Structure 1
Amino acid sequence: MTDAALDTLLGPNGFYLPRGSSAVLLVHGLTGTPAEMRDFGRQLARQGLSVACPQLAGHCDSVAALKASRWEDWYDSVERCFEALAQRHAQVYVAGLSMGALLCLVLASRQRTRVAGLALLSPTFFYDGWNMPKLRQTLFLPLILYSPLRYVFAWQEPPPYGIKDERVRAMVTAVLQKRDSQTADKVGHFKTPATVIWQSRRLIRAARRCLPQVQQPTLIVHSTEDDMASIRNAYLVRDEIGAHQVEICFVDDCYHVLTLDKRKHEVAARVAGFCRGARPASEHLPQYLYPLHAKAA
């Protein structure tokens, strides 16, 4: 595949950092952008890993484009980029953030002999973090999703936007307040249409069904302070995934967006180490690592 063809698959805001023979396919989160993965990708590249991150279908564009996309379209963006990387690199690992982690699970279940391993960052099956209103999840959201209201309603994400680092959060807030034509390119959409939430729920169901079929070595990284998705999500993956080699690492002093927050360097180092050391799952007994960083007693 030519460089031009790969650029087309990556999209206008995607990126590719060619380095070593092993590659990592990064997948950004729902309503996010490749920008949230770029610095993280650079850190992996410094460790000798080639890195690619595609722009998911419907993202970095208008709200109408986002509403028109389905989870299958997001997955197609991931799979096509994976195929391109597999033609260029001896091994391809996948690493996804939040809903991006779920897309990685679906890919791994369908490409069992080709995906070398998975790094799941803040995998999200339940929106049960400390900043998620319980009434919204249990009462209002179901009423909206299962009625015609889902075609007109949108959910405004409140601060802290998954980011504990005040400097980074201030930068995101400044971009949102500016509201220029490139806001979606830079930080994504912070007002999520209900139809997109509906699609995310379809993805959650599909990814959970895929968990027992995922056999590759897996690293799960989750914050103990995640504002959007509690560590219950990490335990669910550990308990239901089919892989024998599973590592769970908890991090402190950060929220949901691990690739931008205070522990991003430690998380990147752990992911890089995992990608350099992962071997076929059949060679390992189950193992769990607790934690990467724990809260002080």
Structure 2
Amino acid sequence: MILHGAEPFFLAGSKKGILLVHGFTGSPSEMLLLGKYLNYIGYTVMAVRLCGHGTNPEDMARMKWRDWYASVCDGYHLLKNYCKDIYIIGLSMGGALSLLLSIDFPVKKAASLSTPIFIAAQRGLDMLPPRHLSNDIYIPKIRHLPNNIPAVCNVGYKKMPLICVHELLDCIQYLKKNLKRVKVPVLVVQSSNDHTVDNKSGRYIYNKIESQDKQFLQLSKSGHLVILDTERKIVFERIKQFLAK
């Protein structure tokens, strides 16, 4: 059963479609404010729900990262039935999956928001048990919501399966090996105040992709959820300019 508020959403607009991809242990809810904004300025918007997300952590524990990627591919094909041009925007792990989609399918532009290449030291990755010892282990996950953001924008798991952290790391490694294959226009957004993703991740992505048209937005006040935090209006406006260019 899908958690209330974690459902995928579709907002009809023009024949220019934007696919939104949420992050690790999250749900489409974290993309809701951005989705409504993009729809308001004319785009058709679809936010996918990644396999094993928005239901229960035990569902997630059964998934591989390629299952999550398959969810993004499914969303692309659904949106392509309605729209002529497809743009993709992903948050955190969703940013990694979005960049990978831009390699495999015709995407006009991609935006990578708080996408992990390097995990922040305070996340304690050095204490992660080996994969064969990580099955059936769940640890608490605190979800901080910025002030004045409705709870409906923060539907996700309060614990995470450690086995899926290994899947996340596998996804990151695959992206690192394939960044040079990213050639579409890309907007990279990174905050120096992100306590989940190391700040150097954004610049690494920007430097390694081979896009002729690439832009970088460095934030300083936002946490990991840049589209919900204090600088979200700056992010929204920059995305608007990037898509319209």
- Determine if contact 2:17/2:87 at 8 Å carries over to the other structure: yes
The answer to whether 1:210 aligns with 2:198 is no
2:130 maps to what in 1? 145
SS at match of 1:228: coil
Task: Output the amino acid matched with 2:237.
Answer: A
Residues 1:162 and 1:118: Cα distance change in structure 2 (over 3 Å): farther
Alpha-carbon distance, 1:156 to partner: 2.1
Quote the sequence identity (%).
26
Alpha-carbon distance, 1:187 to partner: 1.6
- Name whichever structure is richer in helix by fraction: 1
Task: Output the amino acid matched with 2:94.
Answer: G
- Determine if contact 2:6/2:156 at 8 Å carries over to the other structure: no
SS at match of 1:16: strand
Superimposed CA distance per residue, residues 138-162 of structure 1 (whole angstroms, 9 cap, x where no aligned partner): 2x11xx13442x013223234xx35
Residues 1:162 and 1:241: Cα distance change in structure 2 (over 3 Å): farther
Unaligned runs of 5+ in 1: 1-10, 176-184, 278-297
Name the CA distance, whole Å, in 2 between partners of 1:276 and 1:48: 11
- Determine if contact 1:128/1:229 at 8 Å carries over to the other structure: yes
Matches within 5 A, 1:153-232: 153-158=137-142, 161=143, 163=145, 165-168=146-149, 187-232=155-200
Task: Output the amino acid matched with 1:121.
Answer: L
Task: Output the amino acid matched with 2:125.
Answer: Q
TM-score, normalised on structure 2?
0.92
TM-score, normalised on structure 1?
0.76
1:29 maps to what in 2? 23
The answer to whether 1:17 aligns with 2:2 is no
Residues 1:61 and 1:45: Cα distance change in structure 2 (over 3 Å): same
Task: Output the amino acid matched with 2:130.
Answer: L
- Determine if contact 1:102/1:124 at 8 Å carries over to the other structure: yes
**How many equivalent residue pairs?**
241
Superimposed CA distance per residue, residues 126-178 of structure 1 (whole angstroms, 9 cap, x where no aligned partner): 2116xx24xx222x11xx13442x013223234xx354x3344xx65xx9xxx
Which segments of structure 1 move beyond 3 Å, counting only runs of 4 or more?
none
Name the CA distance, whole Å, in 1 between partners of 2:16 and 2:103: 20
Task: Output the amino acid matched with 1:208.
Answer: K
Superimposed CA distance per residue, residues 88-137 of structure 1 (whole angstroms, 9 cap, x where no aligned partner): 212111000000000011111112xx1001101101122116xx24xx22
Alpha-carbon distance, 1:274 to partner: 1.0
The answer to whether 1:271 aligns with 2:239 is yes
Name the CA distance, whole Å, in 2 between partners of 1:61 and 1:118: 27
Q: Please tell me the root mean square deviation across aligned C-alpha atoms, in Å.
A: 2.0
Work out which of the residue numbers 40, 46, 52 in structure 2 matches 1:52. 46
Which protein is bigger by CA-based radius of gyration? Answer: 1
Work out which of the residue numbers 92, 98, 105 in structure 2 matches 1:104. 98
- Determine if contact 1:162/1:255 at 8 Å carries over to the other structure: no
Work out which of the residue numbers 109, 114, 131 in structure 2 matches 1:117. 109
Alpha-carbon distance, 1:62 to partner: 1.6
Name the CA distance, whole Å, in 2 between partners of 1:59 and 1:147: 22
1:242 maps to what in 2? 210
Task: Output the amino acid matched with 1:157.
Answer: K
Residues 1:84 and 1:115: Cα distance change in structure 2 (over 3 Å): same
Alpha-carbon distance, 1:53 to partner: 0.3
2:35 maps to what in 1? 41
